[in-house]
Amino acid sequence: MIKYICPVKVGSAQGLVAEIYAQIQRDFGRVVEPFVLHSPLPKLLAGAWMACRETELTGSVPRSMKEAVAAAVSMINRCPYCVDAHTIMLDAIGEHTIASSINHARYSQIRDAKLRSLIKWGLSTGTPKVEMSSLLSFASQEVPEIIGTAVFYHYINRMATVLLGETPLPSSRPWLKSTLRRIAGRMFSQAVHRPKTAGASLKFLPPAKLPADLHWVAANPIIAQAFARFSAAIDEVGEHTIPLQVRKHVVASISNWQGEPIAHSKRWIDNETKGFDEPAKSVAYLALLAALAPWQIDEYSILRFRQYFPDDHLLLSTLAWGSFSAARKIGTWLQISNT
């Protein structure tokens, strides 16, 4: 279930949204909620899909490794929806032991030392003190596949935490979930193994210049363009929605953030936004929470924003811009010399 916004349904999609949905159906296996929630803004949907597809679904790094990274990142971001989604995909690949080991945080049960090391890396990406040695065994053009997967899920975890439920499965009961994950995995297995052409999603957005803080992706031109185009789409919606002074303040706050845990109390966000008038404060409040503490966004936070900005497009823009601002900051921590 998608909360707070009304997405474009698969059966009623037209134009660019319909084209993207068709490619998602073919390459991912289902038009799933983490993509659908972007549909009120077609360019944003296009950018999110291409950033996911060109890192996680294509390339030479085994899909199982990238799904494991996505699940590990989702674990540290406390996004149970995405943890379930990526253990489902591991089941779809046939990696049932890996899926179970990640889901229960029993990483020692994973026999592949390279994969265990990669999962440990994924679990460490929430702070600047990331040990990058586990990526040194990959070719330079492969490293952006792994870092790109991590960065994308640092973004999508935030969006899912706010806009989705606890699981994509029909039940969250622990004793049922293992069986349900395997059943769901079979629904995706054909698409997982279907050949895919790298770069096929880039047609949905025009070329864009790669921002300096995304240079970790430069060794892989296709992924570089996927992230450049996604970044341009995010920047465009942010400029149209968020006042310049709010954007500057949020960027400065994120620049000072070093992955430290956010207090349970919301006093910190009240202090961060106290200098704005009420409409601007509601935007800064939501963007900063999306970036640094999405689990603190509740119905009151949304209603406060809606009081001044009732449109779904504005809510989606603010959440996406804040979420991606944090993800691209995290990307600056995930760099090694051979990228």
> In this predicted model, what pLDDT tens digit does every residue of 126-185 receive, in sequence order?
999 888 988 989 999 999 999 999 999 999 999 999 999 999 998 878 778 778 888 999
**What are the domain boundaries of the chain?**
15-202, 234-331
The angle that helices 244-256 and 312-331 make with each other, rounded to 10 degrees, is 30
Quote the tokens at residue 337.
Answer: 């010399």
Closest CA to 226 of 208, 211, 240: 208
Q: What's the token pair of residue 29?
A: 């296996």
Is residue 320 scored above 70 in pLDDT? yes
> For the segment 8-43, what is each residue's pLDDT rounded down to a tens digit?
999 999 999 999 999 999 999 999 999 999 999 999
219-246 pLDDT, tens digit per residue, is 999 999 999 999 999 999 999 999 999 9
In the residue annotation, 6 being an active-site residue is answered as no
pLDDT tens digit string along 161-171?
999 999 999 88
Nearest of 215, 173, 156 to residue 335 by alpha carbon: 215
72 touches 102 (CB < 8 A) = yes
Rounded to the nearest integer, the mean pLDDT of the chain is 94
Task: Summarize pLDDT for 70-112 with one digit per residue, the tens.
Answer: 999 999 999 999 999 999 999 999 999 999 899 888 988 899 9
Q: How far apart are CA 272 and CA 321, in angstroms?
A: 17
pLDDT tens for each residue of 36-62:
999 999 999 999 999 999 999 999 999
Residues 6+ apart with CB under 8 A from 125: 73, 76, 150, 154, 330, 333, 334
- For domain 15-202, give the CATH number: 1.20.1290.10
pLDDT of residue 176: 81
What average pLDDT does range 312-337 have in this prediction? 94
What is the per-residue pLDDT for 305?
96
Is 202's pLDDT higher than 60?
yes
Q: What is the pLDDT of residue 173?
A: 82
pLDDT of residue 338: 43
Give the pair of three-digit tokens for residue 51.
């950033």
The pLDDT of residue 172 is 79
With bands split at pLDDT 50, 70 and 90, how would you rate the model's confidence at 339?
very low
Q: What is the per-residue pLDDT for 337? A: 53
Say what the pLDDT of residue 335 is.
83
